Chains A and B, each alone.
Chain A
Amino acid sequence: MSGIGLHTGLKALLASQTALENIGHNISNASTPGYSRQNVNIAAAPAVLVRGLAIGSGVNASNIQRTADLLLHRRLVTQQSMLTGLDTRLGGMAQVEALFGEPGDRGLNSLMQGFYNSLSSLSASPDDQVLRTGAVQSSQTLSGRFNELSASLTDVRRDSAAQVKAQVEQVNALAQQISGYNREIAAFESAGVTANDLRDQRDEALKSLGNLVNITHSEGQDGNVTVLTNGAMLVGKTKAYAMSVEVDTTGGATLRVQGNPNPITPKSGSIGGLLQIGQSFVPDLLERINSLAHEFIREANRAHSTGIPATGPFQSLKGIHSVQDQDADGELGDELLANAGLPFEITSGQLHVNITDRATGSFSRTSIAIDEENTTVQDLLDALNAIPHVNASLDSFGRLQMTADEGFGFDFSARMNLAPDSLGTLGGAHASLGTLNAEPFALTDGMTLDLAGLGGSVNITLAGSQFEDINQASADELAAAINANPATASGGMRAVSQGGHVFLQSLTEGATETVTLTGGSALSALGWSAGLSSSGSSNSIAATISGSYVGTENQTFTLVPTGDGTIGTTPGLTVEVFDSIGVRVGTLDVGEGYQPGTPLTLASGLKISLGFGELSASQGDRLQIEALADSDTSDVLVGLGMNAFYAGTGAEDMAVRADLALDPRMLSVSQSGAVSDNGALEALLDIRDMSVDAFAGISFGEYYGDLVGGVGFDIEAATNAREVEQFLTDTLNTRREQISGVNIDEELVNMIQFQQSYSAAARYITVVNATSEEVLRLL
């Protein structure tokens, strides 16, 4: 090989790929006598200027040696920088992996299971005080672990930033050193002597600098080395430029280099590794842990907010989240609920509020519509205050507080009204006439209704001012207009509305009560006719609901008799059941042969029994039964933190609500109010397997599994990358020894041969990869 002249190598270096192949062939005959002269024939062209280099003038061998050596050193510095970066990253990742403690008793996975298990135990005995305490404790343990994880990850981030700060000082010290060596080497070599020792020391300093941060360096004609990091000059010809770092309170770090306006983001070296851990890996995990906690809080609070505690419906309740004065006008009431700075989203939907009369146990339900684009905080307060026996206001922190009058309580549960016919619209003991038409009623200003009860007659004139739009009058408006006339009550009558129909009823119950439609221009618009009359009854049909509603949507079932008759007696007497959109979902056979009081299937897990009494389709009997799957479809309770389970909004501040932690009786596990009921607890337990929208439909457990698995995967990927980088570094070291130890001419010839070999090898790399992965897929 030594027979090949230096220029042969150079020719090859300058050749095109095709020419390289020819040269490679020639090289294989290198030992043939006379080779160089004979084969040079193919390159007998005159010297030309190729890309600015005058080929033919020859290149000094020692220059080539130095160039190759410098480039190898430069690569080695880069390679070691990458290796150090990966080592640092791996160290940080391993530290983070240990924080999760998976799999293990202290891992979130195990604590989540503990939480579900304690709820499951309580579900079997909801009134057991010990189990209630256990459930609260496991909830606290879980939230405590979230807090701990969040704090530990934040600490890792801060530690990384602190280490970056310390290492930036080392960077500056090394940059100064290199700048100093530059000056000394230039001074030394200007005398024509190579400053070998100083160059070695500068090389070492460059290597140390590269271990801290990724650099590129190049040597000028004058022997000075300039160093760049991420495009910013760190060491120039005459001076070093200082690197600085700003660290914020959360551990965020911003690096800059003097004279460069833009921040830099080192990719390798230990600073690069620390930044990847502190500015990317950990923040990403923190965000995901926070997201997990946030959604978990939302779902737990969603389930809990509509439950009823062991102490029964609330006398008073205060939200834990504050409405913010977003428009800074000093008023909170004018804020849109959906944009009031609350930590959980409020959407359009319905909030149902139940008011219980503690003396009788009966309750009434009010539905409040929330429109995310229109409903303000004040609108909600007004709607709540419009409910009899409820007072609502904001406290000085902007939190919603509600109280009930003495003798009453309120809750937001989806409980069924087990005796739904409180108005007696389906065979009640009142005399009752229901409109055969449903709202909206096409009335006009001045229309009249002539009614007669036991107390006397009344002539009602309907005025447009009593309606928002009298041509499309609602049942509520019409009932209010009828009741607004004092003669209605003095005549022994009242009007009530239900399900879009108006019922004219006697004020009291009993067989002697009557109401009659004597005339009026509004009758036909209501589906009524003059002369229609109803008598009261000595007994009211007792409609009683049993079972649990298992539907997934809120429903209103309407029961309409198909004829007139007596329950259990009249042949063919049936009651049809319609759902919210008017589809008939069942027919109750209550005629001859039906044993009054026997439960009949209504729909979706519900049963209804009808007691003895008279039904009348011609008098407009009908009954609405509300079945709720979710009593707060707007999430306004979650947004305001009413009857929350967890306080806080993320992993950092998640905690069991303070008064709940102190008194486990406040755990709202009941849906009906009965202490032994576990309806709301079941909803809490459903969290375990629910598909979470925010996580693209996977469950909490799966999301966390992905998160922890992702950390493991990242570590494995970084370990594999490190193995490759270590291998490359070792190889470069070997190459450097080789290039320093052999004739540079031979080395260059070798390079040419390798160029050809690489091309051959590259073809197989792709094939081997594709076939092996295909086999893997088939296994």
Chain B
Amino acid sequence: MNQQSLINALEAWGQEELAGQRRILGHIQRQEEALVANRSGELLAACQDLDRELRTQMERHARRSKLFAQFAALYRADERALSMSSILERAGHPPRLSQLRDDLRRSSATLVRRNRRFAALAGAQRKLIEEIVAELLNQQDPKALGEGGQLVNAEA
């Protein structure tokens, strides 16, 4: 493949990645809303959708690795040293791809941020429930909750 073909393939990958990231962001947003609204069913549903989306992301990941390997061969560079910016540099900064790189950068940063926020929220909620349960069980260490115990008939 010549450089132009690879650039086209890279642009296609970038568009798909951008769309995929937007869908992931949507799922995380749904998870967050479900948590806040206290709707566990929706949370699980959003998790399942996210799971499907992440599988397609894995496919994109493999495609991108192959593409970068082809760029590395073309430029006779170490694949690990290549980035989209360095490819842009060598390709003379094609405008559409440059714009796509910027959009991806913004999208990835937002995704990382929102994901961390959701992680903090989920962590806090989980800790709260563990505390409540532990308090009811008169346990000192909330983490001990998941360690054992057995299902009993409390009505007995």
Residue positions of A touching B, CB distance < 8 A: 5, 7, 10-11, 13-17, 19, 22-23, 40, 42-48, 50-53, 55-56, 58-59, 64, 67-68, 71-72, 75, 79, 720, 723-724, 727-728, 731-732, 734-735, 738, 750-751, 753-758, 760-762, 764-765, 767-769, 771-779
Contacts and interface: CB of A to CB of B under 8 A. Distances in A.
B132 A67 contact: yes
Contact of B112 (A13, A731, A776): A776
Contacts of B28: 768
11 contacts: A14-B151, A48-B152, A56-B155, A72-B128, A731-B125, A753-B40, A764-B51, A764-B54, A767-B54, A773-B112, A779-B104
Contacts of A755: 126, 129
Given A14-B149, A754-B129, 16 more contacts: A11-B153, A14-B154, A43-B152, A50-B150, A71-B128, A71-B132, A79-B124, A724-B116, A734-B36, A751-B133, A756-B40, A764-B51, A765-B119, A772-B115, A773-B108, A779-B101
Contacts of A728: 120-121, 124
A772 B21 contact: yes
B43 A757 contact: yes
Contact of A731 (B31, B35, B150): B35
Interface of B is mostly: helix
B19 to A, nearest CB: 13
B118 to A, nearest CB: 7
Contacts of A762: 122
A765 B153 CA distance: 35
Nearest to B58: A771
B9 to A, nearest CB: 15
Interface in B29-68: 31, 34-36, 38, 40-41, 43-44, 47, 50-51, 54, 57, 61, 64, 68
List the 7 closest pairs (A to B, CB-CB), nearest first.
A753-B40, A757-B43, A19-B151, A7-B154, A760-B47, A43-B151, A776-B108
B122 A765 contact: yes
Given A56-B152, A58-B154, A723 B57 contact: no
Interface in B108-149: 108-109, 111-113, 115-122, 124-126, 128-129, 131-133, 135-139, 144, 146-149
Nearest to B118: A765
Contacts of B120: 724, 727-728
Contact of A67 (B113, B116, B136, B147): B136
A765 B115 contact: yes
B23 to A, nearest CB: 12
B152 to A, nearest CB: 5
Nearest to B109: A776
B47 A11 contact: no
B79 to A, nearest CB: 11
A761 B152 contact: no
B153 A56 contact: yes
A768 B111 contact: yes
B93 interface: no
Contacts of B111: 768, 772
A776 to B, nearest CB: 4
Contact of B155 (A7, A754, A756): A7
A53 B43 CA distance: 32
B111 to A, nearest CB: 5
B97 to A, nearest CB: 11
B113 A758 contact: no
Interface of B: 17, 21, 24, 28, 31, 34-36, 38, 40-41, 43-44, 47, 50-51, 54, 57, 61, 64, 68, 83-85, 101, 104-105, 108-109, 111-113, 115-122, 124-126, 128-129, 131-133, 135-139, 144, 146-156
B44 A14 contact: no
A43 B115 contact: no
Contacts of A761: 31, 43, 47, 118, 122
A764 B50 contact: yes
Nearest to B129: A751
Nearest to B130: A755
B47 A764 contact: yes
B117 to A, nearest CB: 5
B27 to A, nearest CB: 8
B57 A47 contact: no
A755 B61 CA distance: 31
B128 A771 contact: no
Given A13-B136, A761-B47, A768 B115 contact: yes
Contacts of B50: 764, 768
B105 A11 contact: no
A754 B153 contact: no
Contacts of B43: 754, 757, 760-761
Nearest to B100: A779
B8 to A, nearest CB: 18
Nearest to A757: B43
A720 to B, nearest CB: 7
Contacts of A774: 61
A764 to B, nearest CB: 5
A760 B152 contact: no
Contacts of B84: 778-779
Contacts of B105: 776, 779
B136 A15 contact: no
A79 B83 CA distance: 41
A50 B83 CA distance: 57
Contacts of B35: 731, 754
A47 B128 CA distance: 27
A58 to B, nearest CB: 7
B121 A727 contact: yes
A757 B44 contact: yes
A766 B148 CA distance: 26
A216 B29 CA distance: 32
Contacts of A735: 38, 125, 128
Contact of B133 (A13, A42, A44, A764): A13
B105 to A, nearest CB: 5
B117 A723 contact: yes
Contacts of A738: 38
Nearest to B54: A767
B151 A758 contact: no
A59 B147 CA distance: 22
B152 A71 contact: no
A364 B12 CA distance: 77
Contacts of A724: 116-117, 120-121
Contacts of B54: 764, 767-768, 771
Contacts of A778: 64, 68, 83-84
Contacts of A45: 150-153, 156
Which among B21, B101, B138, B153 has the highest number of chain A CB atoms within 10 Å? B153
A331 to B, nearest CB: 63
A50 B137 contact: yes
Nearest to B36: A731
B125 A758 contact: yes
A728 B54 CA distance: 26
A588 to B, nearest CB: 49
Given A71-B132, A731-B36, A757-B43, A16 B148 contact: yes
Nearest to B126: A758
A10 B44 contact: no
A7 B139 CA distance: 19
Given A14-B152, A773-B112, A779 B85 contact: yes
